[in-house]
Structure 1
């Protein structure tokens, strides 16, 4: 009986220790990107640099497009990331997912506000090459 209880406790600890609930939503980046969007006037293209917003270590940042499924997010990002925004059924935000040392560490929900975001011809951003294009 004691062995069974110990086994169940071990399984519960493993299950709770293996989730990605420690991924932080970065509302500061959301606010700063929102301000960058507002500054783009008329039908024009602008760019912004993530290094002016970040205050944490990251290797890669991925821009997840509207209506992207959970499976496609994990394929794009290459690591386990449970989407808390439900972007698979939304067209009002983009998702910016930050990865460091092979683990998703932070994300930001970027409001569209009648704009299109892209990384140019890049698959993902890296700290020395961190330009996000904003087209209105």
Structure 2
């Protein structure tokens, strides 16, 4: 029994660490989004330019998106730890390949929101330009 508790703790830490490896949290995204944000004449973002990995479809979830809605759109259940269903400060961009989440971006809303027409059915690498509604 004493052996079980440390194993559970270590497993939880490893699982949490693996989950966070899915998050894209680097300077590339920040730099690219800042260039859009600073250029008020430009309101489009190419999701391919934000990635350096292979993906089949991307989904953009606005603040307060429920897990049920995400499951419906993704086509599978994803146990995300972003808390998007309670947050109003981010948009969540989820990249999928082979019916698995390969990466995601918690994109601060300071960059604006995404136009719903672009994102309703998912975005493909071949059609990866989305419109951002930039706040004044």
Tell me whether the two structures share a fold, i.e. TM-score over 0.5. Answer: yes
Are the equivalent residues in 2 in contact too, given 1:80–1:104 (CA < 8 A)? no
Q: Flag the structure with larger Rg.
A: 1
TM-score by length of 2: 0.73
Range with bigger deviation, 31-40 or 59-68:
31-40
Runs of 5+ in structure 2 lacking a partner?
1-7
Q: What secondary structure is seen at the aligned counterpart in 1 of 2:37?
A: helix
Hey, what does 2:95 align to over in structure 1? 98
After superposition, the C-alpha distances for 1:81-108 in whole angstroms (9 at most, x for unaligned) are 1222101011110000000011111100
Question: Are residues 1:55 and 2:52 paired?
Answer: yes
- Normalised TM-score (structure 1): 0.73
Cα 1:22–1:39 change in 2 (3 A) is closer
Q: How many residues are paired up?
A: 120
Deviations 1:1-31 (A, max 9, x none): xxxxxxxxxxx9xxx8x99837610113642
Which residue among 68, 81, 85 is the counterpart of 2:65? 68
